[in-house]
Structure 1
């Protein structure tokens, strides 16, 4: 699975769940944002590192799936705590399912997943746990 395939998958998932996604021409450093109540995600089409976009989009979808309180600032952060951490957990789960289904079990590694989706290394323990949980099913 590459980044374009992942973004297509996530856009289809958003559509299936009645979530609007708009790519906007913003400053290269402006992060994406979400309105949970409006089920709308604003993505930055000019983001300085395009490899970040699948995780950012999955993270923003995660805020909506998690029904996060939008009185807090909802934007991508590599944190493992609070609502941003929970959105990261949901994002990893959203990306992990099609990633794992596209690979043989012996070809799966947390390092490859992290590299493929340009995740911060701080999220490695979440990835390792979710891969292990996937194969326990």
Structure 2
């Protein structure tokens, strides 16, 4: 399943014109990065925990999809602004990953800690996951409700 999810994210990147490069030349602790300007993501194929690839890729893809000129932010913004950009990418990554969980897990048993563990998401995002998961299920339920033509 994880390979399918990774392949799906890679396909989405390709569809929106984002090039994903897997580098074997980086140290184990060098994190991946995204260039909004060049629409490119560099993933570290030597990363110490390969189970984190899915969230990392979703996070970097979210940087580009949200339209943040992340490259400049690293060098020209305050720490607070950088933290906001990172949080926005984390939220975008969670939204990209929710269908891979929520479409297969009944809402009555779905839970944020399981989602966080499955995708190796930093635990400080558990409340965000819980909120976004509820919204996802609510929207999914609303789209299934029949609409009446008569009032």
TM-score normalised per structure 2: 0.81
Residue 103 of structure 1 and its aligned partner are, at CA, apart by 2.1
- Higher helix fraction (1 or 2): 2
Structure 1: segments with no counterpart, 5+ residues: 75-80
C-alpha deviation, 1:21, in angstroms: 0.3
Cα displacement string for residues 40-60 of structure 1 (whole angstroms, at most 9, x for unaligned residues): 000000100111111110000
Partner residue of 1:87?
Answer: 89
Q: Do residues 56 (structure 1) and 45 (structure 2) align?
A: no
Higher relative contact order (CA 8 A, sep 6+): 1
SS of the equivalent of 1:71 reads: helix
Q: Is residue 46 from structure 1 mapped to residue 32 from structure 2 by the alignment?
A: no
Conservation of the 8 A alpha-carbon contact between 2:102 and 2:137: no
Asked whether the 8 Å contact 2:52–2:119 carries over to 1, the reply is: yes
The root-mean-square deviation of aligned C-alpha atoms, in Å, is 1.4
Alpha-carbon distance in 2 for matches of 1:84, 1:100 = 24
Q: Which residue number corresponds to residue 72 of structure 2?
A: 71
Aligned to 2:98: 96
What SS class does the counterpart of residue 127 from structure 2 fall into?
helix
Stretch moving more, 98-107 or 31-40: 98-107
Alpha-carbon shift at residue 10 of structure 1 (Å): 0.6
1:128 paired residue number? 130
Computing the radius of gyration from Cα coordinates, the structure with the larger value is 2
Number of matched residues? Answer: 130
Post-superposition CA distance 1:52-110 (Å, at most 9, x none):
11111000000001111221239xxxxxx400000000000001122211222233111
Normalised to the residue count of structure 1, the TM-score between the two structures is 0.89
